[in-house]
Structure 1
Amino acid sequence: MDIVDSQVHLGPGGAAEMVAALDALGIAAALIDEYWVGTPGDPFYRLANGATRTTSPTAELAAWTYPGRFSYLVRVDPRDPELAAVIRLARDAAHVRALRVSPGMTRAEVADFAGGVYDEMFALAADNGLPVFVQIAGQAQLIERIVRKYPDSRIVICHCGMPPGGALAPIIAQMEGLPDSADYWRKVSEEPHAQAFARVLQTAEFPQVALKWAHAPVSFDAAGYPNLAARPYLRAAVDAFGANRVMWASDVSVNQTGESWAELLFAIADNPELSAEERAWVLGGTARRWLNWPA
């Protein structure tokens, strides 16, 4: 099976070790979201207006050094005064497959997303043929306005589209840093799973939207291989979106529930509730198609 991991973090260094792990697991390729976990947000530099512009030195070197094994995405800030140029450069780069935004990490960013601050970025992404990964953290209903306004857009909802799970909520609260953040994000994380996931499933009516199946163990209180409690939700996602609009990602670098990379993979590969064809799409085919990434 042609397996693609549609999100790993890498940097600085570590590509050789990751290739060895990919080989051991039978994973053909991985999409890098360069984000230095030890120094969150790096590598980036601050612009004069306060916006950030990321760089991807580890990811680019890995993609050139190990042809076919790595591609990467580019995180963008909608406030970048050179946003159009940044997106054109991403379009023209040999190994860039997509853009990524994370407006779901603070309430202010969610409000900006709903209020149109990100709209120009989606328009430019559509014009340049780049899909956009969106970490919207339980607010998947906000995607509808974007796809109706920009029907040529291609959006991949990150991390099952779910609110942060109980293990992630304190991290989000710390990042937001407001006096009521801990209480607010704890309450968000306690929303019933079925209720929150229903909003995600509603976006399946739009063919421009796909779902990245990542962090399911923490999102659905399904810790521990084979993540049995997440299976009904994956079945519902495949039924709603179709297997060719669901892509697996381990995001093993920041997995809050402790499963190994192999356990995250085989929780899907050995899932008897999916057909062999569905597993092939979820584990690689969808990423290849949506990211225009030839095997």
Structure 2
Amino acid sequence: MDIVDSQIHFGPGGIDRTLAAMDALGIGAVLADEFWGLDNWGPGYTLPNGAYRVTSPTAELAAWLHPDRFSYVLRIDRLDPEADSLIRMSKDAPHCRAIRILPALTATELAAFESGAYDRLFALAEQIGQPVFVFIAGHVDLMPRYLQKFPRLQFVVDHCGMPIEANVSFLDAPTPGQEHAGPDVTYFDEVLKLAVHPNVALKWSHAQGMFGMRDYPSIGLRPYLRRALDAFGANRVMWASDHGGNQTGETWGELVHYIRDNPELSDAEKAQLMGGTVRALLNWKKG
């Protein structure tokens, strides 16, 4: 099986270690969002207007050295005065597969997202054919406006679309509206409503935390994954470990095997979920 992990994080000095782990686990390729820690959300630098411009030195180097094993996404701050240029350059970069936006990080950005402030970025991404990953944890009701307005743009909703679990510091501040909340499995009904829009896919990652089920091999997650596959189709759900960013204690191997060893999935579903979907939707041909 061609296994592609659709999100990991790593940084300086991590290329050889990551390759060794990939080889041991049978992972053919990874999509990296380079991330050095919650203290600065870097690597990158703050601009005079307060926007943060992300750079990807390790991910770019890994992709140039091992083009069949590494690709990456580029996080974009909509307040960056050069955001349009960065999106265009990301499309030209041979190993950058998509951009990523994170409006659920702050109440201010959620309000901006709700108001339509991301229209310009999405219009450009649609025009040039650059897919967009969206971190919109627990606020998927804000997605349909954009899905309808930009029907030719491929969106991917990060981390099951679910509210962030309480006391897990994925963010530099609590998720707006979820400061005291824990897992809310009923919210998955809202996520599944997105499936009626053909231009959105779901990234199946952080499910252990989002659903509050950390009992490897995660048998309790199987009904929810089945609902996702039935609603979206296996060709619109992609697995990710978020290795390097996962904070619920599972090893990379456990995050691979709870999917690969799930007896309730067909071989065809596993092939789509663990590699086929991300390759198809990001136009990422196997090397």
Give the TM-score category using the shorter length. over 0.9
Q: Counting helix residues as a fraction of each chain, which structure ranks higher?
A: 1
Q: Distance in 2 between matches of 1:11 and 1:110?
A: 28
Q: Distance in 2 between matches of 1:292 and 1:237?
A: 22
Q: Distance in 2 between matches of 1:222 and 1:254?
A: 18
Q: Distance in 2 between matches of 1:273 and 1:235?
A: 8
Aligned residue for 2:144? 144
Aligned residue for 2:178? 185
Q: Distance in 2 between matches of 1:236 and 1:119?
A: 31
Q: Distance in 1 between matches of 2:92 and 2:266?
A: 37
Aligned residue for 1:242? 233
Task: Indicate conservation of the 8 Å contact 2:104/2:175, yes or no.
Answer: no
Aligned residue for 2:116? 116
Cα deviation digits, residues 7-47 of structure 1 (max 9, x gap): 00011221011001000000000000011126441111122
C-alpha RMSD of matched pairs (Å): 1.6
- What is the letter of the counterpart of residue 36 of structure 1? W
Q: Distance in 2 between matches of 1:280 and 1:128?
A: 29
**3-state SS of 1:28 partner:** strand
Q: Distance in 2 between matches of 1:121 and 1:97?
A: 16
Aligned residue for 1:35? 35
Task: Indicate conservation of the 8 Å contact 1:63/1:71, yes or no.
Answer: yes
- What is the letter of the counterpart of residue 278 of structure 2? A
Q: Distance in 1 between matches of 2:274 and 2:176?
A: 36
1:198 partnered with 2:189: yes
**3-state SS of 1:7 partner:** strand
Aligned residue for 1:49? 49
1:207 partnered with 2:202: no
Aligned residue for 2:70? 70
Cα deviation digits, residues 125-178 of structure 1 (max 9, x gap): 11111110001011111110001111111100000000001342x554xx23xx
**3-state SS of 2:208 partner:** helix
Count of matched residue positions in the alignment of Structure 1 and Structure 2: 286
Cα deviation digits, residues 38-62 of structure 1 (max 9, x gap): 6441111122222121111000000
Cα deviation digits, residues 195-250 of structure 1 (max 9, x gap): x1111100000110000000000011110311122111100000000000000000
1:220 partnered with 2:211: yes
- Structure 2 unaligned segments of length 5 or more: list them: none
Task: Indicate conservation of the 8 Å contact 1:214/1:248, yes or no.
Answer: yes
Task: Indicate conservation of the 8 Å contact 1:34/1:58, yes or no.
Answer: yes
**3-state SS of 2:143 partner:** helix
- What is the letter of the counterpart of residue 126 of structure 1? E
1:41/1:183 CA distance change after superposition, 3 Å: closer
- Please report how far the alpha carbon of residue 84 of structure 1 lies from its aligned counterpart in structure 2 after TM superposition: 1.5
1:281/1:182 CA distance change after superposition, 3 Å: closer
1:102 partnered with 2:102: yes
What is the identity percentage for the equivalent residue pairs of Structure 1 and Structure 2? 51
- Structure 1 unaligned segments of length 5 or more: list them: none
- What is the letter of the counterpart of residue 48 of structure 1? P
- What is the letter of the counterpart of residue 100 of structure 1? R
Q: Distance in 2 between matches of 1:124 and 1:188?
A: 36
Cα deviation digits, residues 51-99 of structure 1 (max 9, x gap): 1211110000000111210000000011111222111100000100000
1:65/1:39 CA distance change after superposition, 3 Å: farther
Task: Indicate conservation of the 8 Å contact 1:215/1:255, yes or no.
Answer: yes
1:279/1:22 CA distance change after superposition, 3 Å: same
**3-state SS of 1:254 partner:** coil
1:284 partnered with 2:282: no
